[in-house]
């Protein structure tokens, strides 16, 4: 059996999104900047995509610019807000210890430019509070950037409350909503969000496309020099097929959101409850404020990588840490931030589901994981030592 449980890394494209894309790669291939009638039809399609996406996100369509994905949107949001702040002498940025590397590495770059960065610690469930943000805001704070939902442990942040604090203190608020879009209800206006990043391939849209929303009055800095596309905020011919695919995928996800949430969170809870019966296992993240499709657990005494390889032999595609950190021997910064010791953080398993995940697939996972964990522990010197210590302490 083949089970794909790595949807936080990427999702497969939906039939609807693909059909829409083929149309714009094929018969409707024109450039939205061309003045002839065909070009104008492309421009109309682009405007239509912007409207449809804005309706899903509860934002002003005029604030949306299309990017090459979540990473570019995150980069542009942070760099723009930092430079806008610097013009007014504000060179302090606030974010969290559990952000995606698209945020963390951009902050490192800004630090080298002379910005001061405060990374808020998270609690054992991976959350920051609005109170922490309030306490960290200073006279010279240019931006607060807190992710909507964490890509590794699935924890959902109190975005609306953090946004309210930022509004009150008149500090710009950006959220990396890449894991949230299409998976959680988002309303930019109601949630006090000034800037928001989205990526299409996390909700059954195409890879290499995303968007940045910025509230009116925030002068985004273009990261790419060239033409005046996207109101001069993002040069380069718009990737119309991908944008149309993204709009279709997001609309479908938003339309099915209630049904998706109910069905997939039940599968998630079934897996967490079943795998929690494995001795010395830990559920990472928050059981209350959690993405509907995320399971993240640690099994003491084993290596996450070995677990992944064994699961792979049974046809189960999962992940340990994030796709960006796997391949390196360092344990995930997120698992360390929630207070796990290095040794435990190495034994993590992330399973992320989608609307296409079936009960049968989930049962297959529940059937296979305990035996694999037991087998790996049998071969593990770390586990042997733990068992000795347990006996000695008994
Ligand atoms: C995937 C992801 C990104 C990067 O998005 P890309 O479109 O792959 O560049 C950024 N932030 C989070 C939280 C993600 O999960």
- H or E stretch at 110: helix 101-112
C-alpha to C-alpha distance for 392 and 307, rounded to whole angstroms? 28
Q: Whose CA is nearest to atom 12 of ligand 1?
A: 178
- For the chain, percent of residues with pLDDT exceeding 70: 98
Is 221 strand, coil or helix? coil
Residue 204 near residue 312, CB atoms below 8 Å = no
Task: Choose among 125, 131, 199: nearest CA to 156.
Answer: 125
With the most atoms of ligand 1 within 8 angstroms of its CB, the residue from 6, 68, 69, 70 to mutate is 70
Cα of 251 from ligand 1 centre, angstroms: 19
Q: What is the pLDDT of residues 100-150, one digit of tens each?
A: 999 999 999 999 999 999 999 999 999 999 999 999 999 999 999 999 999
- For residue 322, pLDDT over 60 is answered with no
Cα of 287 from ligand 1 centre, angstroms: 23
Least confident interval from 158-162, 286-290, 305-309:
305-309
Per-residue pLDDT, averaged over 262-291, amounts to: 97
With the most atoms of ligand 1 within 8 angstroms of its CB, the residue from 69, 199, 203, 249 to mutate is 199
**Beta strand residue intervals within the chain, DSSP E:** 3-4, 64-67, 92-96, 116-120, 141-145, 172-176, 195-199, 210-214, 281-283, 294-299, 316-317, 348-352
Cα of 147 from ligand 1 centre, angstroms: 11
Per-residue pLDDT, averaged over 187-200, amounts to: 98
Facing residues of 212 across strands? 65, 197
Domains of the chain: 3-9+257-393 (3.90.1150.10), 15-255 (3.40.640.10)
Q: Whose CA is nearest to atom 14 of ligand 1?
A: 178
Cα of 139 from ligand 1 centre, angstroms: 31
HSE, CB side, 13 Å, CA atoms: give it for residue 149: 26
pTM for the full predicted model: 0.96
Q: Which residues contact 150 (CB under 8 A, 6 or more apart)?
A: 98, 126, 156, 157, 179, 285, 334
Residue 86 near residue 253, CB atoms below 8 Å = no
pLDDT for residue 328: 54
Residue 113 near residue 140, CB atoms below 8 Å = no
C-alpha to C-alpha distance for 351 and 367, rounded to whole angstroms? 14
Cα of 71 from ligand 1 centre, angstroms: 6
With the most atoms of ligand 1 within 8 angstroms of its CB, the residue from 11, 67, 104, 151 to mutate is 151
- For residue 73, pLDDT over 90 is answered with yes
Cα of 69 from ligand 1 centre, angstroms: 7
Q: Which residues contact 349 (CB under 8 A, 6 or more apart)?
A: 295, 296, 297, 298, 299, 304, 307, 308, 311, 318, 319, 320, 369
Query: Looking at ligand 1, which atom is closest to the CA of residue 199?
Result: 7
Task: Choose among 80, 47, 82: nearest CA to 66.
Answer: 47
| Three-class secondary structure assignment of 301-317 | CCCHHHHHHHHHHCCEE
Tokens at residue 292, please? 């509907």
> Confidence class of residue 342 from pLDDT cuts 50, 70 and 90?
confident
Task: Choose among 213, 178, 195, 150: nearest CA to 70.
Answer: 178
Active site residue 324: yes
Query: Looking at ligand 1, which atom is closest to the CA of residue 210?
Result: 7
Relative orientation angle of helices 257-275 and 359-378, to the nearest 10 degrees: 30
Q: Whose CA is nearest to atom 8 of ligand 1?
A: 70
List the Cα angle 241/244/78 in 5-degree steps. Answer: 95
Query: Looking at ligand 1, which atom is closest to the CA of residue 72?
Result: 9
Q: What is the pLDDT of residues 209-250, one digit of tens each?
A: 999 999 999 999 999 999 999 999 999 999 999 999 999 999
pLDDT for residue 321: 65
- For the chain, percent of residues with pLDDT exceeding 90: 93
List the Cα angle 253/256/259 in 5-degree steps. Answer: 135
- For residue 326, pLDDT over 50 is answered with no
Facing residues of 316 across strands? 3
Which residues are near ligand 1 (CB < 6 Å)?
69-71, 74, 100, 102, 147, 151, 176, 178-179, 199, 201-202, 210
Q: What is the pLDDT of residues 75-101, one digit of tens each?
A: 999 999 999 999 999 999 999 999 999
Q: What is the pLDDT of residues 61-72, one digit of tens each?
A: 999 999 999 999
Q: What is the pLDDT of residues 353-391, one digit of tens each?
A: 999 999 999 999 999 999 999 999 999 999 999 999 999
With the most atoms of ligand 1 within 8 angstroms of its CB, the residue from 95, 103, 179, 325 to mutate is 179
Query: Looking at ligand 1, which atom is closest to the CA of residue 200?
Result: 7
Cα of 349 from ligand 1 centre, angstroms: 19
């Amino acid at each position: 059996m083949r089970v794909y449980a790595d949807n936080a890394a990427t999702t497969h494209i939906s039939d609807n999104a693909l059909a829409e894309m083929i149309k714009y790669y094929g018969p409707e291939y024109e450039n939205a900047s061309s003045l002839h009638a065909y070009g104008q039809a492309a421009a109309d399609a682009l405007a239509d995509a912007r409207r449809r996406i804005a309706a899903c996100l509860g934002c002003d369509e005029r604030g949306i610019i299309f990017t090459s994905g979540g990473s570019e949107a995150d980069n542009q949001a942070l760099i723009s807000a930092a430079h806008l702040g610097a013009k007014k002498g504000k060179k302090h940025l606030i974010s969290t210890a559990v952000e995606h590397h698209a945020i963390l590495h951009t902050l490192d770059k800004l630090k080298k430019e002379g910005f001061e960065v405060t990374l808020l610690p998270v609690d054992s469930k991976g959350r920051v509070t609005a109170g922490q943000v309030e306490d960290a805001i200073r006279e010279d704070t240019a931006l607060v950037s807190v992710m909507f939902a964490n890509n590794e442990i699935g924890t959902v942040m109190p975005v609306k409350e953090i946004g309210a604090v930022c509004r009150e203190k008149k500090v710009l608020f950006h959220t990396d909503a890449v894991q949230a879009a299409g998976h959680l209800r988002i309303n930019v206006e109601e949630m006090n969000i000034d800037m928001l990043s989205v990526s299409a391939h996390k909700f059954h849209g195409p890879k290499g496309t995303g968007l940045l929303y910025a509230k009116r009055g925030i002068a985004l800095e273009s990261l790419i020099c060239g033409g005046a596309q996207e109101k001069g905020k993002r040069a380069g011919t718009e990737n119309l097929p991908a944008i149309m695919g993204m709009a279709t995928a997001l609309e479908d996800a938003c339309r099915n959101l209630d049904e998706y949430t109910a069905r997939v969170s039940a599968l998630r809870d079934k897996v967490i409850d079943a795998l929690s019966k494995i001795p010395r296992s830990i559920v990472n993240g928050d059981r209350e404020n959690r993405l509907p499709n995320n399971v993240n657990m640690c099994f003491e005494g084993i290596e996450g990588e070995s677990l992944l390889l064994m699961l792979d032999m049974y046809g189960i595609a999962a992940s340990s840490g994030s796709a960006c950190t796997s391949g390196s021997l360092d344990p995930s910064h997120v698992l360390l931030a929630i207070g796990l010791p290095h040794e435990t953080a190495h034994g993590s398993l992330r399973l992320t589901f989608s609307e296409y995940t079936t009960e049968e697939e989930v049962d297959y996972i529940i059937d296979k994981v305990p035996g694999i964990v037991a087998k790996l522990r049998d071969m593990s010197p770390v586990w042997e030592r733990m068992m000795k210590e347990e006996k000695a302490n008994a």
